[in-house]
Amino acid sequence: RTVYVNGAYVPENEATVSVFDRGFLFGDGIYEVAAVVGGKLIDFPAHTARLHRSANELGMRFTVSDEELLAIHRELISRNGVDEGVVYLQMTRGAIDRDFMFDTEKLTPTLVLFTQNRPLVDTGVAKAGMKIVSIPDLRWGRCDIKTVQLLYPSLGKMEAKSRGADDAWMVRDGVVTEGTSNNAFIVTQEGAIVTRPLSPSILPGITRAALMDYSAVSGTPVEEREFTIEEARNAAEAFITSASVFVGPVVSIDGVELSGGKPGPVTLGLRKQYIEESLKRAI
Contacting range for ligand PLP; rule: CB under 6 A; set: 6-14, 96-104, 199-207, 216-224 = 199-207
Is 146 tagged catalytic? yes
Residue 206 binding ligand PLP, by CB under 6 A: yes
Is residue 196 near ligand PLP by the rule CB under 6 A?
no
Task: Provide, rounded to whole angstroms, the least separation between the CB of residue 98 and ligand PLP.
Answer: 27
Helix 265-281 × helix 206-218 angle, to 10°: 100
CB of 43 to ligand PLP, least distance (A): 8
| Nearest one of 224, 203, 277 to 246, comparing CA atoms | 277
Separation of alpha carbons 154 and 131, rounded Å? 16
**Which of 82/120 has CB closer to ligand PLP?**
120
CB of 20 to ligand PLP, least distance (A): 27
Between 95 and 271, CB nearer to ligand PLP:
271
Q: Report which of 225, 214, 231 is spatially closest to residue 277, judged by C-alpha positions.
A: 214
Given the residues 40, 127, 146, 272, the one annotated as active site: 146
CB-count exposure of residue 193 (10 Å: 0-12, 13-18, 19+): buried
**Please, what is the minimum distance in Å from the beta carbon of residue 260 to ligand PLP?**
27
20 - beta bridge partners? none
Q: Select 20 or 140, whichever has its Cβ closest to ligand PLP.
A: 140
- Helix (H), strand (E) at residue 178: strand 175-179
In Å, the largest CA–CA distance within the chain is: 58
Which is closer to ligand PLP, CB of 116 or CB of 234? Answer: 116
In the complex, least distance from residue 183 CB atom to ligand PLP, rounded to whole angstroms:
5
Give the separation between CA 237 and CA 275, rounded to whole angstroms.
19
Does 54 participate in binding ligand PLP (rule CB under 6 A)?
Answer: no
**Does position 157 bind ligand PLP by CB under 6 A?**
no
Would you give the end-to-end CA distance of the chain in angstroms?
22
Q: Which is nearer to ligand PLP, 35 or 95 (CB)?
A: 35
Q: Of 208, 220, 251, 271, which lies in the binding site for ligand PLP, with binding defined by CB under 6 A? A: 208
Distance CA 152, CA 155 (A): 5
Q: Which of 224, 221, 253 is nearest to 237 (CA)?
A: 253
Q: 3-state DSSP call for residue 12?
A: helix
Residue 181 near ligand PLP by CB under 6 A: yes
Which one among 54, 92, 241, 252 touches ligand PLP, defined by CB under 6 A?
241
Q: Applying CB under 6 A, which residues contact ligand PLP?
A: 33, 178, 181-183, 203, 205-208, 241-243
| Residues annotated catalytic, as ranges | 146
